[in-house]
Amino acid sequence: MNREIQLLNFLVNQGTWVTNTTLANHLDLSSRSISTYIAEINRKYDKLIISSNKGYRIQQKEKAIDIIQAAPLMRMPGNYEERKKYILEKILLSQQCPTIDSLSDRLCISPLTLQNELSRLRTELSELGLHLKIKNNKLSIIGLDRDKRRLILDLINNELENSSFSLEEIQEFFSNVDLKNIKKIVLNVLKENEYFLDDYSLLNYILHIAIFIELNKDANTEVKEHIAHKLNFRDIASPHVYHIIEEIYSELKNVYGGDYTLEDFCEVSLSMMTSAVSNHITKLHIDQLDELVGSEIEELLYEIVRSVRSTYSIDLKEDSFMIRFAFHLKNVLERVEHNINIRNSQFRKIKNDFPLIYVIAVYISNIINKKTNHTLSEDEIAYIALHIGVLMEEKKAYSEKLTCVVLAPDYYTVNRTLFRRINSIFSESLIIQNFLASIDDLSESDDYDLLLSTIEINPKIKTPHILIDPFLSETSINNVFQKIDEVKQLKIKRKMSDQFKYFFRSDLFFYDYPFKTNVDVIETMCDLMMEKNYVDKNYKNEIYEHEEVAPSSYGNIAIPHPLSNDAISSVIAISINPTPIQWGSNKVNIVFMLSLQEENREHFKDIFDFITHFISDKEFFSKIMNAKTYEEFIDILVSFA
């Protein structure tokens, strides 16, 4: 159940005056939030809760009970995995320290059952470098922030996999609009004007239109002040794009009505202007934010991006998202400042279906509150959750798919058929960024992974490309799938190569150096790293301190490194020793000496997982032992990527 219902339920069961502090402690909220929720309840239900210097009390108990019973119940976690997710969300995302008693009460299981499940959870967390601590009956998770952030990201990705932000999923959050109908209107207008949007830009645009119509559907229920538009949209969009927006506006107005103007709708359509594909479009750029929304909104946006990345390790810094979200923030603050309330009873499902993403939206609402002194309602927070969810889904898709450009001369309806077939057949592998009719439209500066073309391509074009026939025959389909696999493998190799070259330096490469002992290795490598200004003067002592606690050899490799995380640079010195060196109880052939800054530890983990995976491979080990130069060493690593 939501916070308002929880608050009502607690007051009904007390039957007497309850202080703000008591309510805040019970619901894990601030005193200010309690006041906000009570004001919202009284606004909805006409002074249902009365207040005095003694605290708060229900004035109409029977009415309060009816409200509680009419509210949809939040689905209770029913198994270990669901309860684990609930507990981790409370500790890591909501940053609470719940007690054993409160958890067993809320999860409807006995304290003994909970203790057994916590033992299982403690084991799972230890494998991730985290420790579940229980002190004074309160739970907390101890460990490095990077390990906590990695777990948070895994939780969110699992949430998206179980229930994606597709058009069908989002539809249930809207009661006044049909998202498929909006999609049909938009696609028809774009098609008639020979424009198109990639799948996720289209989803974003539909989402913005749906929110916009919902907010303006029942205009008579709110006293709205129309805020003057600073922008001249004809200056931003080309005449062709402006005509497209006019047509979409007209179609939507006929179907849904609503109290909004073409200028209002142009503002919503700015997201489309950033991604619609045509040679004539005027692109919006992130450096225009000050001009588009004002410096205060721009500063707030960047503060949100920085804070979310720092707290949850989620990067919102995507230009198209930031432009869209900047306008959303602008509209949110205008609604709050002018007391324009939005209500959507369907939105409580977002909180239940996507609790982790909703928590991030709550976090963003708190940043907005601190910066502007405005408290957002649950419905406004749900709108933010929608934006974050769609971005996360888009980022997930782009990490798994290739971006492509299709080059095909305009043979009337052939291109439309080709576009639909490519989208249909390769939807799990490709995201179409652009559809070009002429080789002259192809720019070397365009950033994409694969070019599909129905005409011969100049071999000098460096981007991976493949020739297809205009009707996409079975042979072409098989060839494209094969090319997709090749390009994906190439991307992996390039990524690993870049990471290898970033961490491993040619001036820190040793091969068959006459080391006699592990002390020789430490002294020589540390001295060289200090001489090159890669590490400070304390580095060598910290290496020895770690070796005293526990020798850093593992099988035939050693990984000496400091215990602290305050390195001045991120480098890895390597020594390949065909004649093994005694290191603790092990004979070591390869030494990796690490100096890593905190922000680079995630990237190093990818490299280290890769190396430790292959180090037991006889072929890999044999080749590494024969890598006499830095270049040979890097080439061998890349060849196995």
pLDDT in tens, 398-424: 667 888 888 887 655 566 678 778 888
| Average pLDDT of every residue of the chain | 80
Assigned domain for 162 exists: no
CATH number for the domain including 30?
1.10.10.10
How would DSSP label each residue in 432-443? EEEEES-GGG--
Determine the structural domain holding residue 614 and report its residue range. 498-639
Element (H, E) at 6: helix 3-14
Look at 231 and 451; give whichever has higher pLDDT. Answer: 451
Among the candidates 26, 42, 70, a domain finishes at: 70
- 367 pLDDT more than 90: yes
Look at 539 and 456; give whichever has higher pLDDT. Answer: 539
Asked if residues 159 and 358 have their Cβ atoms less than 8 Å apart, the reply is no
- 221 pLDDT more than 60: no
Which two tokens mark 271?
């997201």
Assigned domain for 136 exists: yes
- Judge if 386 and 412 occupy the same domain: no
- Judge if 390 and 411 occupy the same domain: no
Instruction: Name residue, tokens 């494998």.
Output: 127
Looking at the structure of the chain, the number of domains it has is 5
Number of Cβ within a 10 Å radius of residue 432? 21
Assigned domain for 252 exists: yes
Res 517: pLDDT: 93
Look at 254 and 227; give whichever has higher pLDDT. Answer: 254
Instruction: Name residue, tokens 């739970």.
Output: 139
- Judge if 381 and 328 occupy the same domain: yes
Look at 482 and 237; give whichever has higher pLDDT. Answer: 482
Asked if residues 453 and 468 have their Cβ atoms less than 8 Å apart, the reply is yes
> Measured over all CA atoms, what is the biggest interatomic distance in the chain, rounded to whole angstroms?
87
Res 527: pLDDT: 95
State pLDDT tens for residues 151-170: 876 777 676 666 556 677 67
Asked if residues 483 and 464 have their Cβ atoms less than 8 Å apart, the reply is yes
Among the candidates 396, 422, 438, a domain finishes at: 396
- Judge if 196 and 212 occupy the same domain: yes
- Length of the chain counted residue by residue: 641
Asked if residues 374 and 402 have their Cβ atoms less than 8 Å apart, the reply is no
Res 283: pLDDT: 52
Res 2: pLDDT: 63
Res 282: pLDDT: 43
Collapsing DSSP to helix, strand or coil, 597 comes out as strand
Res 554: pLDDT: 79
Assigned domain for 223 exists: yes
Assigned domain for 482 exists: no
- Judge if 573 and 439 occupy the same domain: no
Res 631: pLDDT: 92
Nearest residue to 36 via CA among 378, 339, 518: 378
- Judge if 513 and 588 occupy the same domain: yes
Res 228: pLDDT: 45
How many angstroms separate the Cα of 184 from the Cα of each of 181, 190, 204? 5, 10, 14
Res 617: pLDDT: 77
State pLDDT tens for residues 193-217: 777 676 656 777 888 788 788 767 6
Q: 222: phi > 0 → left, psi -120 to 50 → alpha, else beta; which?
A: beta
CATH number for the domain including 131?
1.10.10
- 507 pLDDT more than 90: yes
How many angstroms separate the Cα of 393 from the Cα of each of 96, 156, 355, 379, 520? 27, 10, 15, 21, 51
State pLDDT tens for residues 591-640: 999 888 766 666 666 666 666 666 677 888 889 899 999 999 988 888 87
Nearest residue to 303 via CA among 369, 244, 400: 369
Nearest residue to 641 via CA among 526, 513, 497: 497
Which two tokens mark 508?
């820190």
Res 219: pLDDT: 44
- Judge if 7 and 85 occupy the same domain: no
Which two tokens mark 614?
């292959």
Q: 47: phi > 0 → left, psi -120 to 50 → alpha, else beta; which?
A: left
- 523 pLDDT more than 90: yes
Nearest residue to 176 via CA among 200, 209, 204: 209
- Judge if 515 and 468 occupy the same domain: no
Assigned domain for 257 exists: yes
The dihedral formed by the CA atoms of 161, 165, 171 and 177, expressed in degrees to the nearest 10? 180
Which two tokens mark 345?
């009873």
Assigned domain for 229 exists: yes
Directed axis angle between helix 601-614 and helix 474-503, to 10°?
Answer: 110
CA 38: distance to chain centroid? 33
Among the listed ranges 223-237, 387-401, 516-530, 539-553, which one has the minimum average pLDDT value? Answer: 223-237
CA-CA-CA-CA torsion sign (403, 407, 411, 414): negative
Assigned domain for 327 exists: yes
Helix/strand number for the chain, H first, E second: 28, 13
Number of Cβ within a 10 Å radius of residue 544? 14
Res 461: pLDDT: 79
CATH number for the domain including 346?
1.10.1790.10
Cα 124 from Cα 129, distance rounded (Å): 9
State phi, psi for 453 to the nearest 5 degrees. Answer: -140, 140
CATH number for the domain including 582?
3.40.930.10
